[in-house]
Chains A and B, each alone.
Chain A
Amino acid sequence: MSRNAKINALLLLAVAALAVLPLVLGLGDHKEEPFAGADAEAETAITEIEPDYEPWFSPLYEPPSGEIESALFAVQAALGAGVLAYYFGLRRGRRQGEERTAAALRDAPGGD
């Protein structure tokens, strides 16, 4: 593993630790519904401040279940990750191709 890859791995590890620590330390235990979304909590806060408030518009399409919703979130993440992977793969391939061409030109006897 190169030094660069090691640093990237350490950075990723730190991100993972930041996500896992709140769960391990039980930081959601004091809540009725631990680790709910902040947007849902904001909705609750709004109805606390203004009990009469009624949302005046509802989503045109709502995923029929939590499973479908998580599937769609996974699709979103997969689309993004796919494009990113394509980008870096393409770059790596191009760079290797260029290096190979340069090496071939250098090695070619009497090449121009």
Chain B
Amino acid sequence: MHIAEGFLPPAHAIAWGVASAPFVVHGVRSLTREVREHPESTLLLGASGAFTFVLSALKLPSVTGSCSHPTGTGLGAILFRPPIMAVLGTITLLFQALLLAHGGLTTLGANVFSMAVAGPWAGYAVYRLLRRYDVPLMVAVFFAAFVADLSTYCVTSVQLALAFPDPGSGFLGALGKFGSIFAVTQIPLAVSEGLLTVIVMRLLVQSSKGELTRLGVLLTRSGKTTSDEPEAVAR
């Protein structure tokens, strides 16, 4: 559930827009490079974007008695790294802001930052960390998707608490309030997203071994990832 149109004061709206813009610009460059160098990955890119489309349209009931929806950004972050997910997430947010009055144009910067930047990076970091310690692929995928989903809504809560600190209890009081609305609601949904991402990854392992090996998700026979490691070192 994104911050609704007009619900961030102009200064905050602009600041989050400025914070998100470089990530999206960098993402567009990574995306065009990926498509130019590996035209065969266009299909899987489309599938990753489609996964985000489906999941962020699924409003699910939660234990708090309210509804929210998953983000679907963990999968793309694992497959194509977070910069590309910044673009796919922004497309989804734009679709919802323009056609569904869900989220908004003035809050797009803040929503992009939480769902398309912070979530994918947090999920990807967890994924890399777990894989480094030889945690099985599907376990790492589950926690990456779980963290990408949950951290998105923690960031949303922080964004709102910064804009609307509680008159009595200040920033922390407001953070508790927004956190109980967004983050607690999101916990079971993040579990659902983790499970759904594992299902899609299992189907990908069955159907797209070559692609996953090229992207460094599956290991080659020598036990080294093909493309990801040198790139990560070069950064």
Contact = CB atoms under 8 A, between A and B. Distances in A.
A104 interface: no
A77 B53 contact: yes
Interface in A70-93: 72-74, 76-77, 79-84, 87-88, 90-92
Interface stretch (B14-22, B62-70, B112-120, B220-228): B62-70
* Residues of A in contact with B, size category: 35 or more
A59 interface: yes
Interface of B: 1-7, 9-10, 43-44, 46-47, 49-68, 95-102, 104-106, 160, 164-167, 174, 177-178, 181-182, 185-186, 188-189, 191-192, 195-196, 198-200, 202-203, 206-208
Contacts of B1: 37-39, 42
A29 B63 CA distance: 11
Contact of B57 (A36, A59, A73): A73
A76 B92 CA distance: 9
A28 B100 contact: no
A102 interface: no
A16 B161 CA distance: 32
A29 B61 CA distance: 12
A5 to B, nearest CB: 10
Given A22-B65, A38-B67, A49 B46 contact: no
Contacts of A77: 53-54, 57-58
B50 A57 contact: no
Interface in A9-53: 11-12, 14-15, 18-19, 22-23, 27-31, 34-43, 45-46, 49-50, 53
A69 interface: yes
A53 B12 CA distance: 14
A36 B61 CA distance: 9
Contact of A18 (B5, B43, B101, B192): B192
B86 to A, nearest CB: 18
A84 B65 contact: no
B177 to A, nearest CB: 5
Contacts of A76: 53-54, 56-57, 95-96, 100
Contacts of A87: 43-44, 46-47, 50
A91 to B, nearest CB: 4
Contacts of A39: 1-4, 68, 102
Q: By CB atoms of chain A within 10 A, which of B2, B67, B165, B189 has the most? A: B67
B61 A49 contact: no
Given A58-B5, A76-B100, A49 B51 contact: no
A73 B59 contact: yes
A50 B7 CA distance: 11
B151 to A, nearest CB: 16
Contacts of A72: 99-100
Nearest to B5: A59
A12 B192 CA distance: 9
Contacts of A73: 57, 59, 100
Contact of A43 (B7, B62, B98, B208): B7
A97 interface: no
Nearest to B166: A49
Contact of B66 (A36, A50, A56, A83): A36
